[in-house]
A and B are shown apart, each in its own frame.
Chain A
């Protein structure tokens, strides 16, 4: 069961890091590499982080082989949630959906590195150490880049906050 969890999460990681439709290939490649290197795995880091590091590496290779990150997970997607057809959609659910759309939009507009760190740290809820492994950055860079990305996000969001008050 644990291993299966890794597998689903691996796919999600590859997808959200922008592998897009190539996520399948990335994960397949990562599985093969992970199994092939299994004897090299010493168990001194959690298996998940080790596997995710391979996923991260494969996704980066993919981006390098593309002329642009066209498979970017956070590319312009038709957003769900209430659209202009229902501007006065009542209810907390609608408001929350709208907020999520705004938030996702703001994340999408971040620079590549800021976006990657936000995707890892928050959308995928990875630890700092795991994020460092996936992105292949020093841990200090993850920390500072996360803080910077949050500031940027907050600035972007400040304009659209007039209608919503975060609860709590």
Chain B
């Protein structure tokens, strides 16, 4: 087979570098307590090193050094979360089953070993009910309504910014169907889903859409990137898509076909 020369070494290297940017790795966990505990516990051993035996009169040095080390360790881990690569707005797949797409983070794995939903989950932070008109005035993104579902039974605004602009607008319909609209330009992501291995790709208005056919555990991630485990709940089948600036999450449609039909009437 002839090797296509149009794909030269420079192109491939550049492509691989770009690929690296699309690979999302999980957030480093908070290692601060563990590292601090170990550094403190290890301190006597460190002091016994001949090169670091304190001279009489400068005994404050080791403890100062230790305090500095602990402080540095704390700083390291505390700031880590703030400099994580932001969630990608478009399709990104991870190498180990983590998938970030349209403001949601899907952790795929065995549902049996995943986190369990709260029996009585809390709603999203600072949630309140509002009229559709008010939602449209307050939100920084256009609040669209799927014509197929019509006027929602309830409109919920959640997690407002300082000026009251909600980060999430939810249209709630009868029968357990809800459409979450989320300002997708904001980082970090919006929710984490702990889904089983099933995910399917479709298309809405020329853009990829992700279908999670099985019930899955869902939790809210606020604008600081903090996971709200108290919101952890079991979510029904969900379609996720984005128009480039706003991310949509339609939950409770009976089938992918119906979810797509609803999504395509969004206006």
Contacts and interface: CB of A to CB of B under 8 A. Distances in A.
Given A4-B76, A35-B72, A75-B95, A93 B17 contact: no
A83 B200 contact: yes
B262 interface: no
A153 B23 contact: no
Interface in A128-168: 150, 153-155, 157-159, 161, 165-166, 168
B91 A3 contact: no
A123 B202 contact: no
B11 interface: yes
A90 interface: yes
Contacts of B69: 35, 38
Nearest to B46: A36
A73 interface: yes
B208 interface: yes
B220 to A, nearest CB: 22
A125 B22 CA distance: 13
Interface in A59-93: 73-75, 77-83, 85-86, 89-91, 93
Interface string B19-40: 1101101101101001100110
A103 B19 CA distance: 8
Interface stretch (B78-86, B141-149, B183-191): B78-86
A28 interface: yes
Interface stretch (B1-9, B120-128, B129-137, B166-174): B1-9
A69 B12 CA distance: 26
Interface residues of B, number: 64
B197 interface: yes
A91 B16 CA distance: 21
B99 A80 contact: yes
Given A7-B80, A122-B19, A166-B6, A90 B25 contact: no
A150 to B, nearest CB: 6
B266 interface: no
Contact of B201 (A81, A124, A159): A81
A112 interface: no
B93 interface: yes
* Chain A interface SS verdict (over half): helix
A101 interface: yes
A166 B101 CA distance: 24
B42 interface: yes
Contacts of B97: 77-78
Given A4-B80, A32-B38, A78-B197, A97 B208 contact: yes
A161 B4 contact: yes
26 contacts: A3-B72, A3-B76, A3-B79, A4-B75, A8-B84, A23-B28, A24-B29, A27-B31, A28-B31, A32-B39, A74-B95, A75-B95, A77-B94, A79-B93, A81-B208, A82-B201, A83-B200, A83-B201, A93-B208, A97-B90, A122-B19, A123-B20, A157-B12, A159-B1, A165-B6, A168-B11
- A-B CB proximity, top 4 nearest: A80-B93, A4-B79, A122-B16, A123-B20
Interface of A: 1, 3-8, 10-12, 15-16, 20-21, 23-24, 27-28, 31-32, 35-36, 38-39, 73-75, 77-83, 85-86, 89-91, 93-94, 97, 99-101, 103-104, 107-108, 118, 122-125, 150, 153-155, 157-159, 161, 165-166, 168
Given A77-B93, A80-B93, A90-B203, 17 more contacts: A4-B82, A8-B28, A11-B26, A16-B25, A28-B31, A28-B34, A78-B199, A86-B201, A90-B206, A93-B208, A94-B91, A99-B15, A104-B19, A104-B95, A122-B16, A150-B9, A166-B15
Interface of B: 1-4, 6-7, 9, 11-13, 15-17, 19-20, 22-23, 25-26, 28-29, 31, 34-35, 38-39, 42, 46, 51-52, 69, 72-73, 75-80, 82-85, 90-97, 99, 101, 108, 197, 199-203, 206-208, 210
